[in-house]
Structure 1
């Protein structure tokens, strides 16, 4: 019998599996995540630098390996693009240097490569896959900090790298890619925070956590019957529409034997089981990739380089994918990248960013905010209050009329050229979102916002508006 539970663990998400015990009772996180990171150590082995960081999000120390370019200019006169690499389930940051030969793959390409851990040891001392997610909570009866991998990687590590090294700190200079669980994490990070990573790659990635009924029964995302919004908010396929403007690279095998596999089942029982499992897992990754591509197509997003060849869920294929990804990425890297207009964002986090915009939702339950954004206009659909800060596109110190629904107010741009205002989306819903179909927002409030040009003279909209 093919061990489907093992297959799910290898991929880091749920594949079809036999029915098992009921979902464990999950104790939800009871304290907010407050990002903040500081360096407590540094060591170097040639071009490879290892930083030890104290992470408030993870409530402990984390290590991250950074491969500097050959002939690295530490003076700050040269700004380098950055590539973040996320390992797969059961792995760690060292896979990239010890197994996947990242030094030879990168060669003399002038890019900084950042390789963080995405898993840790649980209370029992065993490896605990992080899932590239801020965990919903812990299984009842266990204790310790609730992992917050997403906040560590996106809200702490990315700013730390940009502060510490001479990076090109924008979407045009920031790429992310990963293997299996890390492939799903890379695409999800790019989709959950549009404009943070301009390029995203998945190698045999877990791109759709709705595939199969046998999801891993843990509390990373909570019980899906009760926390479907959490699962969807961490699902690349559900967030695919957020990826307009991001260059995408998707690879997986088809689950049939490829050039690095035995063409027939081995005679040895253990080897035969491993052969079957790797093919099964890759067939699941291929199915997920097809779902993800269909979601991109539905959203009208065509900037994706996708290819599927025979092969299994095993390192030789990922090493090939990594080489292909770097070759694909190199000619795309540019000093600047245009913000797509319009773009759409669906996000159920309390706070998130998108192409320089910052949003903070204030409501009683977890649900998606749905946004359609242009340069100086947006439409928001949801409930409660949504605080908005624009990109720094405005003249600092100048006053701008902002029409929010049927009222207009005048807002002064801060010293960076940003405008801050709030959108009233009516009373907060009191029941967590469970409908995600075409009628999901039926009856929800939508408010349109239009930002005018800077006030000058005796313009009526500036004179009549409530400051």
Structure 2
């Protein structure tokens, strides 16, 4: 075995354990009935756009989640919705929407960051992205995991479903997409494939470079596909990760770092720490990815907002610069007011 192959076996093992794993921000919400939107209980939402609601709506009037099924993605899926506290006060008022994408192997109901509930100016929607969905339509739809068309689910079903059921401002100007870890990749990827939908995108410790420069993150994708149950083929999502005879072209096509030109006209925000300089912390690896994207944006003269908070000492007492919820809470406390300002401008 060569030294190079030994290194990548080590990387796969490390990434399988840590990269992309989002630390839950708190317990799930308490159960509550799905009744008419009277300001005391969640609003009743109407099925459509391929989504069918199942089970009981859970939560309160302004912070709740629904469970849906869709032919596009096997299984049941939570969609968490956070409404402004004054949503029911003015029935004529409409709001911009931020879509917040979780990391792996998290779930929307675990996204209980206090910062997400601070805005009275926008609606926040947290759709399920799966334990290792990678915010993509998988190449192989016939694995043990079943249908895995996450991109279609989010962009062609969840967004129109939300616009049809809630008082949104259904325009690019009033729509943002942000995410942590795996969701950071999803946020930039979705803004690149549908720049007509989003005016702002933000990566919080995102896996935003899947080029050969960041083979460690490619191996994280592979590790999640093989390692999570049910195990699927390593090439199921994006095909081969190996740069041999252009076999990795699908990875290159979805790689945010190689397509920053597609973000022209979209506000870009990037937040990242340094993991204390330790390869055992996923933040060490995603910092390199963030810098690659920053360099690509610089090379094309595109504007962006970049916060490299290092060990977190200047970012708040709950942040140690690592790949964890303490740092992401601080990221969100900086990002949300900036989104509100952008929406209002």
Do the structures match in fold with TM over 0.5?
yes
Q: Unaligned regions of 5+ residues in structure 2, if any? A: 1-6, 22-47, 223-233, 311-320
Rate the CA distance shift 1:146–1:329 in 2: closer, same or farther, 3 A.
same
Rate the CA distance shift 1:43–1:254 in 2: closer, same or farther, 3 A.
same
Do the aligned residues in 2 keep the contact of 1:86 with 1:179 (CA within 8 Å)?
yes
Tell me the CA shift for residue 238 of structure 1.
1.8
Deviations 1:385-406 (A, max 9, x none): xxxxxxxxxxxxxxxxxxxxxx
Correspondence for 1:322: 332
Tell me the CA shift for residue 111 of structure 1.
1.1
Correspondence for 1:110: 121
Correspondence for 2:163: 162
Correspondence for 1:135: 138
1:193 is the counterpart of 2:194: yes
1:285 is the counterpart of 2:290: no
1:253 is the counterpart of 2:273: yes
Correspondence for 1:376: none
Matches within 5 A, 1:233-272: 233-256=253-276
Q: Unaligned regions of 5+ residues in structure 1, if any? A: 14-34, 120-127, 258-274, 336-467
Do the aligned residues in 2 keep the contact of 1:36 with 1:56 (CA within 8 Å)?
no
More helix by share: 2
Matches within 5 A, 1:281-360: 281-302=282-303, 304-310=304-310, 311-334=321-344
Rate the CA distance shift 1:228–1:175 in 2: closer, same or farther, 3 A.
same
Do the aligned residues in 2 keep the contact of 1:238 with 1:295 (CA within 8 Å)?
yes
1:230 is the counterpart of 2:250: yes
Deviations 1:142-167 (A, max 9, x none): 43523111111111101110111110
TM-score of the pair, normalised by structure 2? 0.74
Tell me the CA shift for residue 40 of structure 1.
2.2
Correspondence for 1:432: none
Alignment partner of 2:73: what SS? coil
Do the aligned residues in 1 keep the contact of 2:136 with 2:150 (CA within 8 Å)?
yes
Q: Work out the number of aligned pairs and report it.
A: 280
Correspondence for 1:8: 15
Deviations 1:248-294 (A, max 9, x none): 1101012326xxxxxxxxxxxxxxxxx7622xx21211110111112
Alignment partner of 1:188: what SS? helix
Structure 1 counterpart of 2:105, from 66, 90, 94:
90
Correspondence for 2:51: 38
Do the aligned residues in 1 keep the contact of 2:79 with 2:128 (CA within 8 Å)?
yes
CA–CA distance in structure 1, aligned partners of residues 154 and 215 of structure 2: 28
Correspondence for 1:412: none
Rate the CA distance shift 1:175–1:235 in 2: closer, same or farther, 3 A.
same
Tell me the CA shift for residue 245 of structure 1.
0.9
Rate the CA distance shift 1:177–1:160 in 2: closer, same or farther, 3 A.
same
CA–CA distance in structure 1, aligned partners of residues 334 and 141 of structure 2: 38
TM-score of the pair, normalised by structure 1? 0.56
CA–CA distance in structure 1, aligned partners of residues 133 and 52 of structure 2: 22
CA–CA distance in structure 2, aligned partners of residues 165 and 227 of structure 1: 43
Correspondence for 1:266: none
Do the aligned residues in 2 keep the contact of 1:74 with 1:166 (CA within 8 Å)?
no
Tell me the CA shift for residue 112 of structure 1.
0.8
More strand by share: 1
CA–CA distance in structure 2, aligned partners of residues 332 and 185 of structure 1: 21
Larger Rg: 1
Do the aligned residues in 1 keep the contact of 2:97 with 2:175 (CA within 8 Å)?
yes
Do the aligned residues in 1 keep the contact of 2:78 with 2:109 (CA within 8 Å)?
no
Do the aligned residues in 1 keep the contact of 2:138 with 2:237 (CA within 8 Å)?
yes
Tell me the CA shift for residue 93 of structure 1.
0.7
